[in-house]
Each structure stands twice: as structure tokens, then as C-alpha cells.
Amino acid sequence: MTAAREIRLKSRPSGLPTADNFELATVDLPAPGEGEVQVKNLWMTVDPYMRGRMNDVKSYSPPFALGKVMDGGAIGEVTASNSPNLKVGDLVQSGFGWREGFNAAGDKLQKLDPRGLPPQTFLGAAGMPGVTAYAGLLRVAALKDGDVVFVSGAAGAVGSMVAQIAKAKGHTVIGSAGGADKVAFLKEIGVDHVIDYKVEKDLTGALAAAAPGGIDVYFDNVGGAHLEAALNSANMFARFAICGMISIYNATKPEPGPSNLAQLIGKNIRMEGFIVSHHFDLMPKYIEELSGWVKAGKVTWKETVFEGLEKAPEAFIGLFSGENLGKMLVKLG
Amino acid sequence: MTAAREIRLKSRPSGLPTADNFELATVDLPAPGEGEVQVKNLWMTVDPYMRGRMNDVKSYSPPFALGKVMDGGAIGEVTASNSPNLKVGDLVQSGFGWREGFNAAGDKLQKLDPRGLPPQTFLGAAGMPGVTAYAGLLRVAALKDGDVVFVSGAAGAVGSMVAQIAKAKGHTVIGSAGGADKVAFLKEIGVDHVIDYKVEKDLTGALAAAAPGGIDVYFDNVGGAHLEAALNSANMFARFAICGMISIYNATKPEPGPSNLAQLIGKNIRMEGFIVSHHFDLMPKYIEELSGWVKAGKVTWKETVFEGLEKAPEAFIGLFSGENLGKMLVKLG
């Protein structure tokens, strides 16, 4: 028997989640059964999309159940094995996050080959957020030579990869983020024009100044006023990859959309929402390209790390005030 | 010398245009010069997109100039010719509308082959509105077998062609329009479910009831609450062809967009604006298909006709309160 703590959904939030919506519990893990392994999680991820799963509404991911563990991505180490697929010491990637350990069938877990990268990278730059950036930019927005790219939430896990992939491919990139640290990071990774949206209240004016020739691609992580500014600056046949709208995830009443959607017509703009799970076929190609960029020093990443499972709610809530620079992670091991 | 009346833009409207924004003037047409023809217009068109041209803003069509004639589509008859390209009695299609007659270089006018159709059809079902419907449905929305189609402004010049093309291709079609006459017309042309938006205030509820399995394609002529309802009813991977947003063309202050745009993400919706001039390559193919549908009795059209150039402003203004069933036209001949 091993004790493992886990975080459960105690109550559904109205607006921004608070500590009261979460509950820390301890469970006993029996020895793994036939075909099973026991895993000690080393890292877990908190992501903005999880906010949607806290609501009791049908969406692309099923809602978290009250009183049950909030699952999500995690990287762990096999500590006991009754499975021929995995041995003690193997690293595994799973969807059994928000807990310190678990038992699972060995053939249901993905063995992680870290390829010389720190294992938590596979929750960020080399994982779901990274391939989200790649798929959104290359497939959804159909990035092509000469495109000027605007990305909001540019210092986040997805946004910072969007910015760097576009730079690696030779594009002019405008990124928006909030606060001096993030602005400095974006300049460091080569973003051509950085908009600090916490300082710059006229986003349309700021974007027009940063991209006097207009933008061709907008990668939206934020929605709201950012989307409005992007529509105003869009060139003919611009393509918008709509990945997230973190500005409205905690809205308690309907937040009106941008008032300038009619620009879609005259400018022939394509605005396409996507979720990354429909694009996982790109993962091998992405990892191959990423390896090359990392070796060439063209791509890097930042992590904001909270230590201890009990800090997971705080890390998660911090996403909505932009407390993370790069990937927000919780270190468990 | 021939006298010809024309309508000029007298002042730019704020909100819904009024009669005061237009000016009726008479000009003298000299005999046509070398290479020129003189044309007597028989029909002119008024279209919603012209509202945008009354504003002094850069858009895909240049703004109408103050004190100058408001041009637009027209069908006329050659009354004098000094051009080898055209002879007296030929029908021509031109962009010299809002006037009773004009002189123009013969090689700048398109000779009309009516193919047995009334000539004004080439301002409607067999012209720009028709190919708008065809391009939006087949190319922009990429209509595919089994798609359930929702079209707003379904009794208008574009919408009624969208509805009939989709029906001719075997789709379930939901159309919205305002008023009993339009509802009756839509039922007559085989629309499966008709929503009278003037009666039905809960568009989301009405659309959900009409399309319990959701919609796959939305052809938007209206924007606003119709777009919001379409997002709520959209299936995964739905495609929205954004053709017009007549509900906001006369807005005097910014009209907020729909509050549910975040549904683009979870449902992977593609929303694409378009203007038909980028799709004129489809015209021959469209006219060929249209001929077949007309012969097979699958496609018909309605016209709302005002007589006399002096009625053109009234016809145009009537578009915004939906006074037209089918194509709004002004008969000049």
C-alpha cells in the first residue's frame, strides 16, 4: 500500500476558480494487479482548457465530475510493474494528472523517450502546447512565405512556440503579452514587435503601429479586444487560427464578441477554431522539426514551476491572471 | 442630345439612409463618340453592399463620391452605336446603374446573351446574387453530402438561391426570413424548416428545434443574433460562409458581435468571409448548372420591382427593412 494525494473537484466555480473549488484527498494505492504498473508522477500540467471542464456543460472534453479527481497530462516514473510493456524506472506520459501516483494497465500508458530533453518538456514545448502551436500555424492558418504573424498570449506555453516557429520560418512576428518580464522574454526570442497589453490600452492602434502593412495570420489565444484589433489590422485573405479565448473563460455573463466581425466579408478573412487532438498526426513531424530548431538554437522555452500537488490549484488559477511565463507546471516528484 | 436622369449621392447617411441622401439630376447625353455606344438602361439593381459604399471609408469597393452618380449593375439596350462591337438593339450588362442612359466605349461593355431568360434575371438569379450563392455554398462552405444547411435572409436574392441550390443537391435546408409572404415562398420552393425571425424571438431555440441534429453549413446574410444561433447549433467541423451582415449595416454605433464565438474552438468551426468578385471564375459553371435546374423546375425566383429611376432610393432603403421578396429591382425602360 502506498499513499498518494490527489486533487478533486469540490464545487463548480462561477467566474474565476478559487481554492474552495478544489479538495485535497489521500488515497491508498494497492500493489498493481496483473498487467498493471504503479506510477509515481513527477510533473503535472495545468492548462487553460481545463477551466471549461470545470463547468457542467457538454464540450469537446467531458466535464470533470464533482468529488472526483481532475485528470490531465502528467509525466511519471514506473515504481512497480506487473506488465511486460514497462519496467521500473521507465518514464511514462499519461492523462492521470492532478495526483501523485496511480495504478494503470501497462498497455494504456505511453512510454516516454526523452530524447535528451527534460521530461517535463513533453508537457510543454515538446508536447501538447507545442504541437498546438505547430498545427495552428501551419495547418489551420496555412502559414505561407511572407506572412506577417500576430500572436496573442505570446509569452505563454502555446504562444511562445507560435512566435518561435514563425521566426524560425523567417516571418515577421508581432506578439502581445502582459508585463515587463514577458516583454523582455519575447524580445530575447526575437519577436519583432512586442505589445504589452497591460500598458497599451488601444490595441488596435498598437497593432496598426507594429504592423503598418497589416497582418496575414493571427493566432488567437485570448479573444475579446485582441481579436477585434486583429480584425482591424487584417490584410485581404488573412487567416485566423482560433486556439483559445482566455479573456472570457471566467465570464459569468455573456461577453459580447468583437463589433467588427463584418470585416470578415470585405477582407475575405478565414477564422477557424481548432482543438489539437484532431491534429496529433502532426506530432512526429513536429518533434523532428523541433529537434532541429533546438539544436540550431532557434527555439527555447520557459517554465513557471509550482512545487507540490497542493499548489496545483494556485498554479491553475494563476493562468488566468497570466502569472506564468512559458509553461505553467507543477512538480510532484 | 438625349436627356437622361441619374441619381447622385447628395449626403452621406448616418444609420438608415433617407430620401434626403439622394439627388435626382438630369444630364444631356451627346451623340456617342468614335468607338462609343449610347445605352438606354432597362433595369438597374439595388443591393445591400451599396450601403457600405455610401460611407467614406476604404473597403473592397471604393466609396461613392458626393455629388456624383451612384453606379451599380444595370441591363440596357444599345440605342446608337459607333462601335464595331455592338449594334443598335443589343442588350448590354454594365456597372453604370442608377441612371437612365449613358455613353461608353463599346469594348468596355458586356453584351448580354439572355439565353431565353428575362434580361433582368442577369441582375439576380443568373447574375451576381446567384453566383454569390453558388460560390459561398460550394466553394467557401465546401458543401458536402449529408450537410444540413441553414441560411438567413433566405427569401432574398442571394438567400433564395442558396436555399434552392442546396435543395437541388439533396440537402436538408433551414431558412430564416421575416413575414408570412416570405415564409410561404420558402415553403413553396421546398425549404424544409422555415423560421420567421419576426415572430420567433428565440432564434437559438427555433434553430435547435428545426435542426435537432445540428447544422453543418451556415450561409450568413444577416449577422448578429442569427450568427449566434448558428454557432449554438453548429456541429463539429461546421463551415460558415459569411456573405453579409445586413443587421448591422446601418448601425450608428458599434454593434457587439455574438457572445459565443468561443464555440469556434471546441467545434472546430471554420467561418470565412467572402466577396463574390473573387469567385467570378465560377460563373460559366454556375450558369450551366442553373440552366439545368431551371429546366428541371428545381429553381425559380421572385422579383420585387419598383418602376422609374426616381423610385431607386425607395427600393434601396426598402432592402434594410426586408421589403423585397427575392431580387429588388428598378425598372427603367
In angstroms, the CA A133 to CA A138 distance is: 8
For A265, the closest of B243, B262, B264 (CB atoms) is: B243
Question: Which residues does A contribute to its contact with B (CB < 8 Å)?
Answer: 52, 59-60, 223, 227, 242-245, 248-249, 254-275, 278
Residue linked to cell 467557401? B140
Question: Which among B204, B237, B261 is the top mutation candidate for probing chain A, defined by the most A β-carbons within 10 Å of its own β-carbon?
Answer: B261
Q: Given an 8 Å threshold on Cβ–Cβ distance, is A266 in contact with B52? A: yes
ipTM of the complex: 0.93
CB neighbour burial string for A162-171, b if at least 16 within 10 angstroms, e if fewer: bbbbbbbbeb
* DSSP letter for each residue of A105-120: EGGGSEEP--TTS-GG
pLDDT score at A115: 86
Contact A256 B261 (CB under 8 A): no
Q: What residue ranges of chain A are covered by domains with CATH 3.40.50.720?
A: 128-279+287-293
Query: Can you tell me whether residue A230 is helix, strand or coil?
Result: helix
Say if strands A148-151 and B74-81 run parallel, antiparallel, or are unpaired. unpaired
Nearest to B273 among A60, A259, A264 (CB): A264
Residues of chain B contacting residue A265, judged by C-beta atoms under 8 Å apart:
242-245, 273-275
pLDDT at A102: 97
Eight-state DSSP code of residue B269: -
Percent helix, strand, coil in chain B, to 5, is 30, 30, 40
- Cell of residue A208, nine digits: 496598426
Residues in chain A with pLDDT values less than 70: none
Does B2-123+302-331 carry CATH code 3.90.650.10?
Answer: no
What is the reported pLDDT for A253?
86
pTM of the model: 0.94
Chain B residue numbers with beta carbons less than 8 Å from the beta carbon of A227 are 261
B272-289: pLDDT as tens digits: 999 999 999 999 999 999
How far is it between the farthest Cα atoms of chain B? 65
Name the stretches of chain B with pLDDT < 50: none
Centre a 10 Å sphere on the Cβ of residue A216 and count the other Cβ atoms it contains: 23
pLDDT at residue B60 in the model: 75
- Using a 10 angstrom Cβ sphere, with 0-12 exposed, 13-18 middle and 19 or more buried, the burial of residue A62 is exposed
| pLDDT (0 to 100) of residue A254 | 84
Q: How far B244 CA lies from chain A's nearest CA (Å)?
A: 7
Tell me: the pLDDT tens digits for A219-258? 999 999 999 999 999 999 999 999 999 888 888 888 899 9
The CA distance from A316 to B160, in Å, is 50
Question: Would the CB atoms of A60 and B267 count as touching at under 8 Å?
Answer: yes
Show the cell assigned to A280.
Answer: 496529433
DSSP state of A96: B
> If you measure CA to CA, which chain B residue comes closest to A49?
B266
Output the pLDDT for position A7: 98
pLDDT of residue A60: 75
Name chain B contacts of A271, Cβ cutoff 8 Å: 264, 270-272
Q: Contact B275/A260, CB-based, under 8 Å?
A: no
CA nearest neighbour of A261 among B191, B271, B307: B271
Q: Residues A57, A63, A66, CA angle at the centre, nearest 5°?
A: 110
Task: Quickly list DSSP for B12-43.
Answer: --SSS--GGGEEEEEEEEPPP-TTEEEEEEEE
CA distance A290 to B197: 51
Cβ neighbours of residue A176 under 8 Å, at least 6 residues apart? A150, A151, A152, A153, A154, A194, A195, A196, A197, A203, A207, A222, A226
Q: What is the pLDDT of residue A240?
A: 98
Helices B203-210 & B224-233, crossing angle to 10 degrees?
A: 40
Nearest to B276 by CA among B219, B218, B215, B237: B219
d(CA B307, CA B120): 13
User: What homologous superfamily does CATH list for B128-279+287-293?
Assistant: NAD(P)-binding Rossmann-like Domain (3.40.50.720)
Count A/B contacts: CB-CB distance under 8 Å: 102
pLDDT tens by residue, A274-330? 999 999 999 999 999 999 999 999 999 999 999 999 999 999 999 999 999 999 999
Amino acid at A305: V
Q: Give A266's contacts in chain B (Cβ within 8 Å).
A: 52, 59-60, 273, 275
Enumerate the CATH 3.90.180.10 domain ranges in chain A, comma separated. Answer: 2-123+302-331
